[in-house]
């Protein structure tokens, strides 16, 4: 049994060393020249009011870019974000800022809005970004540079989560020290066939080749499926060393758990074959189990210290690379984030329901969602 744990923990520590070396190489690559600046339509699906909404929205309006438009979309006219959008339009009269109320389309509200916003967009290059995302003034220039290559159909970006209370900090650590380095490693080793959905850039033709956003009207992982189908259609899918921000603010325990379980279920459904392999990233939790099961023998304690050191180093490095320096002050919570990650990994095997924006869904094996009524019955979405 001891040999079993020693092998697993050793593999896991080696994995994190490779992931760190790869992340360093990825983030220090030479930036592409920002001379290719075609007109861009920025699509902003909005539902509800996120913390710092005005600053998030206006960061897309303040882009250092020659020609672009920003199109906001909501599902209902009385959405609490509407006054903020109107405020943005008043504060930037010189910018082309549009607003649209999108009718329902499917279980995935985000793609329902996006499918309508695309029809309003005037340009052949599209950027879609979640409502809680904030970007730097060079964001559009950074992404547009990749489309100089006519084979590129989609470009993804990375993100960091700005946190305040304990659960938002644990969530930020999960994103920054697990999701991001693993995603970058997968891109560098195998090519990108998935995407981080916080902010994506498309060539319109690539999106049309896969049927547009309406194709994903019921899918829980629209970002993953879009990238997979764009790649399947013969386009290149790339990842830019560009980091956007989202503000988590104060996250309640219930919010943390439901959101992370939904994301883990997405990983289970979309990458079912690779999912068990996540076990090999659990260096510190495996070392804890080894220490307890062996009654804290010297070798188990040695592996416990080494695995903790590796994970702490990975956290520190990612804080530097993501320019997320405040995360260094609460890296000690990486112990908690690692343990929760294991628990979520196990739960995803058995959980069939997910929650998204206070709505419950049954998640089918192909990634489609069925809305659940309060009584527990499944319902069909209204047709348009």
The per-residue pLDDT for 254 is 87
Can you say how many angstroms the Cα of residue 217 is from the centroid of all Cα atoms in its chain? 18
In a domain, 18, yes or no: no
Whether residue 154 lies inside any domain: the answer is: yes
Looking at the domain assignment, is residue 64 inside a domain?
Answer: yes
- The string of pLDDT tens digits covering residues 345-367 is 999 888 778 887 777 888 887 78
Q: Which tokens in the block code for residue 195?
A: 């995407």
Q: Give the pLDDT confidence score for residue 50 in this predicted structure.
A: 84
> Domain for residue 213, yes or no?
yes
Assess if residue 299 is contained within a domain: no
Kind plus residue range of the DSSP H or E element containing 97: strand 96-101
**Structure pTM?**
0.89
Neighbours of 280 (CB within 10 A): 14
Does residue 266 lie within any of the structural domains?
no
Q: Are 128 and 200 contacting, i.e. CB atoms less than 8 angstroms apart?
A: yes
Q: Please answer whether residues 125 and 204 qualify as being in contact, where contact means their C-beta atoms are separated by less than 8 angstroms.
A: yes
Residue 56 domain-assigned?
Answer: yes
Please tell me the predicted confidence (pLDDT) of residue 134: 93
- We report the CATH number of the domain holding residue 211 as 3.90.550.10
172 in a structural domain: no
- According to DSSP, the β-strands at 133-134 and 152-163 are unpaired
In this predicted structure, what is the pLDDT of residue 48? 87
Q: How many domains does the chain have?
A: 1
| pLDDT score at 263 | 85
Q: 245: domain range?
A: 38-163+187-249
Element (H, E) at 162: strand 152-163
Radius of gyration (C-alpha) of the chain in whole angstroms: 21
Positions of the chain with pLDDT under 70: 190-194, 197, 373-384
């Amino acid at each position: 049994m001891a040999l079993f744990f020693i092998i697993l923990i050793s593999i896991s520590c080696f994995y994190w060393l490779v992931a760190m070396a790869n992340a360093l190489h990825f983030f220090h690559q030479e930036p592409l020249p920002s001379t290719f600046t075609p007109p861009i339509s920025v699509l902003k699906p909005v539902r509800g009011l996120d913390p710092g909404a005005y600053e998030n929205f206006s960061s897309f309006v303040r882009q250092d870019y020659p020609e672009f438009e920003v199109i906001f979309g909501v599902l209902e006219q009385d959405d609490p974000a509407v006054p903020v959008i109107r405020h943005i339009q008043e504060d930037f009269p010189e910018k082309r800022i549009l607003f649209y109320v999108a009718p329902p389309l499917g279980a995935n509200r985000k793609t329902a809005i996006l499918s309508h916003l695309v029809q309003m967009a005037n340009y052949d290059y599209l950027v879609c970004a979640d409502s809680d995302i904030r970007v730097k003034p060079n964001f559009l220039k950074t992404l547009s540079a990749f489309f100089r290559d006519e084979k590129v159909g989609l470009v993804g970006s990375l993100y960091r989560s700005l946190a305040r209370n304990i659960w938002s900090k644990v969530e930020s650590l999960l994103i920054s020290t697990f999701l991001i380095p693993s995603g970058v490693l997968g891109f560098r080793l195998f090519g990108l066939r998935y995407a981080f959905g916080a902010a994506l850039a498309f060539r319109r033709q690539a999106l049309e080749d896969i049927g547009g956003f309406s194709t994903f009207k019921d899918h829980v992982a629209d970002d993953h499926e879009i990238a997979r189908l764009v790649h399947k259609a013969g386009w290149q899918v790339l990842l830019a060393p560009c980091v956007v921000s989202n503000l988590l603010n104060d996250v309640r325990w219930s919010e943390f758990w439901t959101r992370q379980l939904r994301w883990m279920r997405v990983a289970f459904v979309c990458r079912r074959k690779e999912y068990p392999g996540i076990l090999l990233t659990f260096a510190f939790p495996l070392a804890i189990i080894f220490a307890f099961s062996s009654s804290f023998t010297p070798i188990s304690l040695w592996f416990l210290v080494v695995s903790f050191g590796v994970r702490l180093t990975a956290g520190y490095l990612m804080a530097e690379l993501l320019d997320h320096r405040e995360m260094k002050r609460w890296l000690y919570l990486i112990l908690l984030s690692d343990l929760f990650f294991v628990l979520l990994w196990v739960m995803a095997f058995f959980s069939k329901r997910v929650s998204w924006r206070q709505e419950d869904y049954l998640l089918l094996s192909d990634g489609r969602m069925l809305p659940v009524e309060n009584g527990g019955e499944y319902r069909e979405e209204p047709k348009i």
